């Protein structure tokens, strides 16, 4: 009697094919629904001298860097605004898909066409590119350490082995401003309940830095589970501290982590904002019904910011930045219309 089961080689070939198709489709829809003008390796500059002076003045106080999402010539570009309601925006000529800033340096992850590829740009205080980083895949998440010493980025890549299906992630930490590699998170040891654990399907994403740039939090996905890990960059080690806490973002006072809480599974999954008190590890679900797919940013110790998409037409994708109090005392409201990927900077 013949064995009708497919051979392991055929299964491996099929998984690789499915992974490749998933990557191709994801790349197509990412670009088709998000047609920002792609960038080259040239320094970004400011649109004009008036805008340059406005940015210098704006950066004397607290401000937010973000990705502009209003249709027009600056769609998809890095932009800035003070934290005052209705403040005018200052635009750069640099298209970005994810951004983050400190008071001295910045990082922009972009899809580029000249030459084509995925790139990260490290920026100095004068908004000049100090280094270009070749990303291994589509931009997903990025964060700078609070002292501006390190930058972390996550990119979507094809499956690394036959065990992987669909997309996987690659997360690295680089030194600023040189762009030199510091660590690939997949090289870290992972300890849970005092025992080191291993798995071929480990995926890391969503790094957030503490005041000590060697100490980080991140997400570890493995075996269908989402784990919050606390890590030491110098020692190349992670410790699992909680489950079901995805894409962490540490508060300015380092007392809470805001995160995306997942509901459902597969193509039916959606995420909503939540916070965990690090002293008690108590989770509070916030009164926000809208789906979010963003690494949350902190406006201050009592309020968070996050992007919510409101259009996915074939011509343009749009989003707004919303805010909500972490004590759950009020409903959410729009903080900045037609914007995403916020990064709050306080001098």
What burial class does residue 194 get, using C-beta atoms within 10 Å of its C-beta: 0-12 exposed, 13-18 middle, 19+ buried?
A: exposed
What token pair was written down for 256? 């809470």
* Beta bridge mates, 62: none
85 falls in which pLDDT band (50, 70, 90)?
confident
Backbone angles phi and psi of 246, in degrees to 5: -115, 140
Band of residue 128 on the pLDDT scale cut at 50, 70, 90? confident
Give the DSSP H/E element, type plus range, for residue 250: strand 246-250
Higher pLDDT, 47 or 160: 47
Q: Is residue 147 part of a domain?
A: yes
Per-residue pLDDT at 347: 79
Residue 3 lies in a domain: no
Q: Is residue 2 part of a domain?
A: no
Q: Is residue 67 part of a domain?
A: yes
Average pLDDT over residues 127-145: 94
Alpha-carbon span 336 to 333, nearest angstrom: 9
- DSSP classification of residue 46: B
Domain that holds residue 310: 8-345
The overall average pLDDT reported for the chain is 85
Q: Does residue 316 form part of some domain?
A: yes
- At 19, the pLDDT band (50, 70, 90 cuts) reads very low
Question: Residue 44: its pLDDT value, please?
Answer: 56
Kindly tell me if the per-residue pLDDT of 204 is higher than 60: yes
For tokens 């298209």, what's the residue?
Answer: 95
Specify whether the CB–CB gap between 216 and 186 falls below 8 A: no
Q: What is the mean pLDDT of residues 82-100?
A: 93
What is the pLDDT confidence band of residue 78, given thresholds at 50, 70 and 90? very high
Half-sphere exposure of 3 (CA within 13 A, CB side): 4
The answer to whether residue 246 is domain-embedded is yes
- Residue 296, domain member (yes or no): yes
**pTM for the full model?**
0.86
Bridge-partner residues for 121, per DSSP? 108, 132
3-state secondary structure of 251: coil
pLDDT tens digits, 279-335: 999 999 999 999 998 899 999 999 999 999 987 665 678 999 999 999 999 999 999
Please indicate, yes or no, if residue 1 is contained in any of the structural domains: no
Q: Is the CB of residue 293 less than 8 Å from the CB of residue 304?
A: no
Q: Which residues pair with 181 in a beta bridge?
A: 174
d(CA 259, CA 38): 30
pLDDT, tens digit (0-9, with 9 covering 90-100), for 234-286: 999 999 999 999 999 999 999 999 999 998 877 788 899 999 999 999 999 99
Supply the CATH number for residue 294's domain.
2.120.10.30
Residues 164, 12: contact at Cβ < 8 Å?
no
Q: What confidence score (pLDDT) does residue 86 get?
A: 87
Q: Cα(207)–Cα(186) distance, rounded to whole angstroms?
A: 13
Q: How many domains does the chain have?
A: 1
- Give me the count of residues in the chain: 347
What's residue 29's pLDDT? Answer: 33
For 49, phi then psi, to 5°, come to -65, -35
- As a whole number of angstroms, the distance between CA 323 and CA 307 comes to 9
Question: CB-based contacts of 106: which residues, under 8 Å, 6+ apart?
Answer: 65, 78, 99, 100, 122, 123, 127, 144, 343
What is the structure's pLDDT at 114?
Answer: 75
The answer to whether 313 and 324 are in contact (CB under 8 A) is: no
Q: At 311, is the secondary structure helix, strand, or coil?
A: strand
Gap between the Cα atoms of 134 and 148, Å rounded: 20
């Amino acid at each position: 009697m013949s064995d009708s089961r497919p051979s392991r080689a055929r299964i491996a070939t099929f998984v690789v094919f499915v992974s490749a198709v998933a990557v191709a489709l994801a790349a197509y829809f990412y670009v088709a629904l998000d047609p920002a003008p792609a960038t080259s390796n040239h320094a970004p500059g400011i649109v004009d001298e008036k805008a340059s002076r406005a940015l210098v003045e704006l950066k004397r106080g607290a401000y937010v860097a973000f990705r502009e999402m209003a249709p027009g010539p600056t769609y998809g570009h890095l932009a800035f605004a003070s934290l005052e309601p209705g403040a005018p925006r200052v635009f750069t000529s640099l298209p970005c898909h994810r951004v983050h800033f400190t008071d001295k340096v910045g990082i922009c992850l972009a899809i580029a066409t000249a030459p084509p590829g995925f790139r990260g740009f490290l920026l100095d205080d004068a908004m000049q590119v100090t280094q270009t980083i070749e990303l291994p895949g589509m931009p997903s998440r990025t964060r700078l350490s609070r002292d501006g010493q390190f930058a972390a980025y996550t990119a979507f890549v094809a499956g690394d082995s036959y065990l992987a299906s669909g997309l996987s992630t690659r997360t690295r930490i680089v030194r600023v401003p040189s762009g030199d590699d510091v660590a690939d998170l997949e090289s870290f040891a992972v300890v849970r309940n005092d025992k080191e654990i291993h798995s071929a399907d480990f995926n890391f994403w969503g790094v957030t830095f503490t005041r000590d740039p060697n100490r980080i939090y991140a997400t570890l996905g493995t075996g269908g589970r989402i784990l919050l890990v606390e890590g030491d960059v110098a020692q190349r080690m992670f410790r699992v501290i909680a489950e079901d806490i995805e894409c962490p973002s540490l508060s300015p006072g380092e007392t809470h982590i805001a995160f995306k809480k997942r509901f459902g599974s597969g193509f039916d999954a959606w995420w909503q904002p939540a916070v965990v008190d690090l002293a008690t590890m108590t989770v509070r679900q916030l009164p926000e019904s809208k789906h979010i797919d963003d690494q949350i940013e902190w406006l201050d110790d009592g309020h968070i910011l996050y992007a919510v998409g409101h259009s996915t037409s074939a011509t343009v994708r749009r989003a707004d930045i919303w805010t909500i109090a972490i004590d759950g005392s009020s409903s959410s409201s729009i903080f900045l219309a037609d914007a995403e990927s916020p990064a709050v900077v306080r001098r």
